[in-house]
Amino acid sequence: MNAATPLWEIAVRLLLAVILGGAIGYQREISEKPAGLRTHALVSLGSALIMIISIDIQPFLGLARTDVTRIAASVVTGIGFLGGGAIIRQGSIVRGLTTAASIWVVSGVGLAVGGGLYFASLIATLLILLTLTTLKYVEIRAVPAHRTIQMMAIDNPQQLGKIISALGEIGVTVRTIDIEPLEGEGTNVIQLGLQIPPDVDDIRVPAQLASVKGVGEIHWISRPMVRERSNGS
């Protein structure tokens, strides 16, 4: 029969789970994502607690040795529902996939901490933070000339032409167009795939669109350049 985990070590594991989950959540918080510091800290803490229960419930109750991963495995399923709540679909546009993935992976960090795999949980946290920060800039620079932007526009046959003309004035080419009418509101959700010349700052694109009468709620769908954080997806 396995000996129960010492109380001090349980406390350390739970505290470390909150710290590591909170570190990841803080990054999402400052990026203004719906699931931030508290959500990630709680997911990590809960996952660690469930793993500790899985390990210590047998010696505590005097049960025969069983597979300790069975209870912990339920975390993976449960987190799938929580992560699904972070995904938002608006027409053909899907948002929140990265946030959902961060919730899912932070549960793995919590399970690792709860199982006493401190090195693995620390390295995983560093890699997660690296992926959410540094790799974002790598991804941006991999396709610097292509962006997708969304806006709300009044339902007018000439409106799309005005939008395309306004973008053409600053040298931006429209590559793809996706229009979804909002029933009963007299407006359309317009998503444009743009080709932006290297000499055109991303900040100019939303500003140029905002100058078109009847256009509003403009924001990037694909990740913008770093300098354009205020209009980020």
* Same-domain status, 20 and 104: yes
- Identify whether residues 126 and 210 lie together within a single domain: no
Question: 87 and 180 share a domain?
Answer: no
Number of domains in the chain: 2
- Residues 119 and 12 reside in one and the same domain: yes
- Give the pLDDT of residue 26: 92
CA distance 164 to 192: 9
| Pairing outcome for strands 146-154 and 88-90 | unpaired
* CATH code assigned at 164: 3.30.70.260
User: Domain for residue 2, yes or no?
Assistant: no
Residue 37 lies in a domain: yes
| pLDDT tens profile 95-122 | 677 888 899 999 999 999 999 999 999 9
| pLDDT at res. 158 | 82
Provide the whole-model pTM.
Answer: 0.61
Pairing of β 215-220 and β 173-182? unpaired
Question: Within a domain: residue 1?
Answer: no
Q: Which candidate, 36, 165, 44, 49, places its Cα nearest to that of 110?
A: 44
Q: 192 with 95, same domain? A: no
- Considering the domain architecture, whether residues 132 and 184 belong to the same structural domain is answered as no
> Alpha helix (H) ranges present in 62-151?
69-84, 97-114, 118-142
Positions of the chain with pLDDT under 70: 1-3, 59-68, 86-95, 139-145, 222-233
Q: Please check whether residues 165 and 217 belong to one and the same domain.
A: yes
Residues 140, 153: Cα–Cα separation, whole Å: 27
Q: Tell me which residue range forms the domain holding 67.
A: 7-141
Does 135 share its domain with 157? Answer: no
Q: What is the pLDDT of residue 229?
A: 35
Closest to 51 (Cα-Cα) out of 3, 113, 95: 113
Q: Do 136 and 34 share a structural domain? A: yes
Among 87, 106, 141, residue at a domain's last position: 141
The last residue of a domain, from among 108, 141, 174:
141
Q: Give the end of a domain, one of 119, 141, 163.
A: 141
166 and 187 fall within a common domain? yes
Residue 73 lies in a domain: yes
**Same structural domain, 115 and 178:** no
Domain match, 133 and 26 both = yes
Residue 21: closest CA among 102, 133, 139 = 102
Q: What pLDDT does residue 128 have?
A: 94
Ramachandran bin of 139, using left for φ above 0, alpha for ψ from -120 to 50, beta for the remaining angles? alpha
Write the pLDDT tens digit of every residue in 136-175: 777 656 554 577 888 888 888 788 888 988 898 898 888 8
